[in-house]
Chain A
Amino acid sequence: MQDLQALTEAIKVGNRADATRITQEHIDAGTPARDILDALIAGMDDVGRRFKANEIFVPEVLIAARAMKESMERLEPLLVKEGIKPEFTAVIGTVQGDLHDIGKNLVAMMWRGANIGVIDLGTNVQPDKFVQAVQEHGAKLVGLSALLTTTMPAMQTTIDAIRSAGLGDVKVVIGGAPVTQDFADRIGADGYAPDAATAVEVAKKVVAV
């Protein structure tokens, strides 16, 4: 059986055959689920770091994320059995009026890869749907995506809806090609992520785990 370092390496290069095989071998051998999970997270963490530095690009992230996802599917029953939960739950979606989802999907992948639970509401999501989902899933974080400058006002509307719904301490992180830190500050977002890798750091920072 290959060690957990090999599992991390398999995620880093997006080798899903190796990743799922090594995951299964460790499950069968009785390796604690937490250790397997940490090896997977370490792989995605490295992918995120290299993506942010533009050493790798979207294709490599997608391949790694798929290896991660398939390994997590194997690991899921064991995580449940051992009572290991995501660090917290986040709700994500592309705001009302915008049907673009590539960026949003990348952030969802990276968050899942960092053991953040993700409820993906899809695209063209109305503000009240975000509010409902936060209540239903007890989410601590909301991620808002938009590609079009014309749909940016919907980010403000959604943030306002979340703030006025009295949901407690829920944070909002925004992103999308035209979005800037300045804009995020202006509309009262808790964080801004220029790319999917940074979205992990920002999520953890604003939720303060």
Chain B
Amino acid sequence: MTPDELKAAVRTRPRLVDGAMGTQLMARGLPSGACGELWNVEHPDRVAAIHRDYCQAGCDWIITNTFGGSSASLERHGLADRAAELNRAAARLAREALDDHVVVLGDIGPFGGFLEPYGEMAPERLLEVFSEQAAALAEGGADAFIIETMADTRELQIAVQAARQAGNKAVIATYAFDKSADGSLRTMMGTTVDEAIATAIEAGADMVGANCGTSLSLDDYVQLAEQLVAAAGQTPVILEPNAGAPQNVDGQLVYPATPEAMAEIVPRLLAAGVRAIGGCCGTTPDHLRAMRDALDRYISALEPS
């Protein structure tokens, strides 16, 4: 999917992106703390089954199982030298599992630390890290890229640059925003929605927005959507909310939003101008199925009868 194709696709109709991956892997037996990306080669059938579940729920865009797939992130599991292999396998298995009309987005997540001068990572080195991941995702057949859960605008810029260099494929870039003491939505690094989105667009992202976030309610996500759309101008906006803010239920922290509750915010997000909606933490194929219905109802209500 080229940048022009992405723009045309979201202009035609809003798109549904998939939901959470990690919890789906765990539901299929991935032990807590184990490397989910390793399953792209060890249990490709199970990863493919998750992709197919989301596809059957009605998702248009499916995200590869490579959120922690950069060599810097895999380092924590002692698997840094397998980054290219795991990313290639992830894109390939997704592409092979899904029909041609489904778009496979190669996922790039944060490397897990801080860039200089706040941390030890040099920008040049991070570009190499993300470039290796992006190239492997492209080689495996990813149609476009999604850079997710970023907090540092510089890290996002470097990831966009790396994805850009991996071919003429659309690049989507999203940040994680939290609510600060004064009520403003900012990344962990303190960057406002306006600043963050301006930087992403300047870096060359074709679609911008947000995913995840710390303890945002569904209403907060609607507010975030409005701010994102205002900040993005002509650039289309994507939002992948969590299933609400975690709550303590019988000694377990759970994401409380039901599929019905998630479906209810879909028309509100679309009315705010969001052109692609997915789910982050706490979402399941059931959530996405309900969101699909809500999205379809919204579209048909707009069409002249």
Q: Interface on A for B, CB 8 Å cutoff?
A: 52-54, 56-60, 62-63, 96-102, 123-124, 148-154, 156, 177-180, 182-183, 186-187
6 sample A-B contacts, Cβ–Cβ < 8 Å, listed by A number: A54-B186, A62-B119, A97-B32, A99-B33, A149-B246, A151-B32
Contact of B253 among A59, A98, A183 (CB under 8 A): A183
Scan residues 246-276 of chain B and give those whose CB is less than 8 A from a CB of chain A: 246-248, 251-255
The answer to whether A150 touches B189, judged by C-beta atoms less than 8 angstroms apart, is no
* CA gap between A45 and B285 in the complex, in Å: 46
The answer to whether A123 touches B255, judged by C-beta atoms less than 8 angstroms apart, is: no
Beta-carbon contacts of B168-200 to A below 8 Å, as 1s and 0s?
A: 000000000000111000101110000000000
Tell me the complex Cα distance, A2–B178, Å.
40
CB distance from A159 to the nearest CB of B (A): 12
A151 to B32 alpha-carbon distance, docked (Å)? 7
The smallest beta-carbon distance between B142 and chain A, in angstroms, is 25
Q: How many Å from the CB of A122 to the closest CB on chain B? A: 10
Given contacts A97-B32, A151-B33, A178-B253, 13 further A-B contacts (CB under 8 A): A54-B182, A54-B190, A58-B151, A58-B189, A59-B189, A99-B76, A102-B114, A123-B76, A124-B33, A153-B252, A154-B32, A179-B253, A180-B246
> Known: A149-B254, A156-B251. Contact between A58 and B33, CB under 8 A?
no
User: Nearest Cβ distance between residue A132 and chain B, in whole angstroms?
Assistant: 19
Number of interchain pairs (Cβ within 8 Å): 82
- Residues B46-100 near A (CB distance < 8 A): 76-77
Contact of B190 among A59, A99, A153 (CB under 8 A): A59
Q: Does B44 contact A (CB under 8 A)?
A: no
A179 to B117, CA, bound (A): 29
Across-interface contacts of B26 in A (CB, < 8 A): 150
Distance, CA A60 to CA B189, complexed state (A): 9
A182 to chain B, nearest CB (A): 5
Judge whether A54 and B248 touch: CB under 8 Å: no
B22 to chain A, nearest CB (A): 7
Q: Please tell me if the beta carbons of A182 and B248 are within 8 angstroms of each other in the complex.
A: yes
Distance from A15 Cβ to chain B, minimum over Cβ atoms (Å): 12
9 A-B pairs with least C-beta separation = A57-B190, A97-B32, A97-B33, A178-B246, A54-B181, A54-B180, A62-B118, A183-B248, A149-B253
Q: A180 CA to B251 CA in the complex, in Å? A: 11
Contact across chains for B23 and A150 when beta carbons are under 8 A apart: yes
Q: Which residues of B contact A99 (CB under 8 A)?
A: 33, 76-77
Residues of A within 8 A of B190 (CB): 54, 56-60
Task: Spell out B's residues near A (CB within 8 Å).
Answer: 22-23, 26, 31-33, 76-77, 112-114, 117-119, 151, 180-182, 186, 188-190, 214-215, 246-248, 251-255, 281-282
Tell me, in angstroms, the Cα distance from A119 to B237 when the chains sit together: 44
Q: In whole angstroms, what is the CA distance A101 to B281 when docked? A: 18
Question: Which residues from chain B contact A101 at a C-beta distance below 8 Å?
Answer: 112
Whether A63 pairs with B248 at a CB distance below 8 angstroms is no
User: Which residue among A52, A98, A102, A156 has the maximum number of chain B CB atoms within 10 Å of its CB?
Assistant: A102
The smallest beta-carbon distance between B218 and chain A, in angstroms, is: 16
Inter-chain CA distance A179–B252, complex, in Å, is 10
A100 to B247 alpha-carbon distance, docked (Å): 20
User: In the complex, what distance in Å separates the CA atom of A162 from the CA atom of B169?
Assistant: 52
A57 and B188 contacting across the interface, CB-CB below 8 Å = yes
A152 to B23, CA, bound (A): 13
Least CB separation from B113: chain A residue:
A102
Q: Counting chain B CB atoms within 10 Å of each CB, which of A96, A177, A183 scores highest?
A: A177
Nearest Cβ in chain B — how far from A40, in angstroms? 20
Give A60's nearest chain B residue, CB to CB: B190
A149 engages B118 (CB within 8 Å): no
State whether A57 touches B33 (Cβ < 8 A). Answer: no
Q: Which residue of A lies closest to B254 (CB)?
A: A149
In whole angstroms, how far apart are the Cα atoms of A150 and B189 in the complex?
Answer: 25
Of A97, A149, A186, the contact of B255 (CB 8 Å cutoff): A149
Instruction: Give the shortest distance, in Å, between A6 (CB) and chain B (any CB).
Output: 22
Q: Which of A53, A150, A182 contacts B22 (CB 8 A)?
A: A150
Q: A56-B190, A59-B189, A150-B26 are in contact. Are A96 and B32 (CB under 8 A)?
A: yes
CB-defined contacts of B181 to chain A, threshold 8 Å: 52-54
B33: which A residues are within 8 A, CB to CB? 96-99, 124, 151
State which of B77, B112, B281 has its C-beta within 8 Å of the C-beta of A149: B281
